[in-house]
């Protein structure tokens, strides 16, 4: 199996861009939400009362997802990230991953996970040649982790962290900063990159919790950077293309640090990604309301050509940035990040 994977990876070559918006941004990265269900209740993702999950009938089937992914690669998509909710709560996700791994035009296949269920799956993820794992880790304190997530699962997440390192799966740590909860843990979390080849990324809290009242307060990218520079005055900016994270190297560190200005939206000019929600909405921006109902097109008998044409038109009309997309949105930003697809 390993030889087959190696041969497949060697066959993954450059693929022509066929999706480009009116601002000249080439789209090559698809984020696919496979479920809106999650085994945690993070304070930045869901309101205290929780959210109403989409019915099974309204979630895309794996067959529908595969058809869409294969269609998107003909349009130039070369990187796929599976998100949730929590991807691994969906039954048969590993089988779907193997199907995705058989598509040679996909040069990268990654997963974003909270890590609760991930550790036992790491050996098979390594075997299939997974390109990378993003692990949500918002605290190194059991009590604080439980306050943020609602569950006492920190040790399970840390086990996933160590397993990914052991099997040498490229690893990024995602930490959503919330003043009053985990801002003071930035430095201990950042030190995970001191002795480990990981990127620890601190994320601005965004207004996607699933309720009207929520507005992020504090923990801006500027505040995060100021705190890191106090600790690491010799920190050096890393130039990256098409990344949501501004990276930084610290002398003596094995890994790197990053800041994702998801609320400030400072990376929009270079954004090369689009999203499909678990219910099949195409989002050309995190802050839009969904521009195409792909599920409706799939289930109404549209041809691949029809769907491709609709997608291309939607991408051409993409907003210049997240602020414009939000202003066009006629409804409040009340979707949970779980429903959006991470």
- pLDDT tens per residue, range 190-217: 999 999 999 999 999 877 665 554 566 7
207-261 pLDDT per residue, tens: 766 555 456 677 899 999 999 999 999 999 998 777 888 999 999 999 999 999 8
Residue carrying structure tokens 């106090």 = 230
By the 10 Å C-beta count (0-12 exposed, 13-18 middle, 19+ buried), 337 is classed as: buried
59-84 pLDDT per residue, tens: 999 999 999 999 999 999 999 999 99
**Over pLDDT 90: what percentage of the chain?**
72
**150-153 long-range Cβ contacts below 8 angstroms, 24+ apart:** 150/40, 150/41, 150/42, 151/39, 151/40, 151/41, 151/116, 153/39, 153/40, 153/114, 153/116
Give, in words, the CATH class of 2-340. Answer: alpha beta
Distances (CA, A) of 103 to 5, 38, 74, 181, 309: 11, 28, 11, 42, 22
Query: In the chain, what are the domain boundaries?
Result: 2-340
Does 94 have pLDDT greater than 80?
yes
pTM, full prediction? 0.89
Confidence of residue 323 (pLDDT cuts 50, 70, 90): confident
Closest CA to 70 of 44, 13, 32, 37: 32
- Enumerate the H helices of 87-205 as residue ranges: 93-101, 122-127, 142-149, 154-166, 186-190, 192-195
Give the pLDDT score at 90: 97
CA distance 15 to 197: 29
The answer to whether residues 124 and 102 touch, using CB atoms and an 8 Å cutoff, is no
The answer to whether residues 319 and 288 touch, using CB atoms and an 8 Å cutoff, is yes
3-state SS, residue 166: helix
Does 8 have pLDDT greater than 70?
no
286-319 pLDDT per residue, tens: 888 889 999 999 999 999 999 999 999 999 999 9
């Amino acid at each position: 199996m390993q030889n087959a994977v190696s041969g497949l990876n060697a066959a993954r070559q450059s693929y022509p861009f066929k999706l480009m918006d009116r601002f000249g941004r080439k789209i090559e990265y698809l984020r696919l939400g496979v479920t809106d269900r999650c085994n945690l209740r993070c304070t930045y993702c869901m309101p205290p009362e929780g959210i109403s999950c989409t019915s099974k009938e309204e979630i895309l089937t794996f067959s529908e997802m595969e058809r869409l992914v294969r269609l998107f690669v003909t349009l130039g998509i070369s990187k796929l990230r599976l998100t949730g909710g929590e991807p691994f709560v969906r039954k048969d996700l590993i089988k779907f991953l193997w199907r995705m791994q058989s598509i040679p035009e996909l040069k990268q296949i990654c997963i974003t996970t909270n890590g609760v269920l991930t550790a036992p799956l790491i050996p098979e993820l390594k075997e299939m040649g997974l390109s990378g794992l993003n692990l949500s880790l918002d605290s190194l304190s059991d009590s604080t982790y439980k306050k943020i997530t609602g569950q006492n699962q920190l040790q399970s997440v840390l086990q996933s962290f160590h397993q990914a390192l052991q099997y040498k799966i490229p690893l990024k740590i995602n930490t959503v900063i919330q003043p009053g909860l985990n801002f003071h843990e930035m430095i201990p979390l950042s030190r995970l990159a001191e002795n480990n080849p990981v990127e620890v990324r601190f994320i601005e809290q965004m207004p996607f919790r699933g309720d009207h009242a929520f507005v992020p307060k504090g923990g801006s990218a500027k505040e995060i950077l100021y705190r890191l520079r106090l600790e690491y005055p010799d920190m050096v900016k890393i130039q990256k293309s098409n990344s949501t994270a501004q990276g930084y190297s610290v002398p003596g560190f094995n890994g790197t640090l990053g800041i994702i200005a998801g609320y400030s939206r400072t990376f929009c000019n270079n954004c090369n990604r689009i999203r499909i929600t678990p219910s099949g909405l195409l989002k050309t921006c995190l802050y839009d309301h969904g521009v195409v109902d792909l599920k409706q097109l799939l289930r109404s008998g549209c041809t691949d050509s029809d769907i491709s044409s609709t997608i291309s038109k939607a991408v051409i009309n993409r907003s210049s940035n997240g602020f414009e997309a939000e202003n066009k949105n006629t409804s409040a930003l009340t979707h949970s990040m779980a429903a959006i697809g991470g």
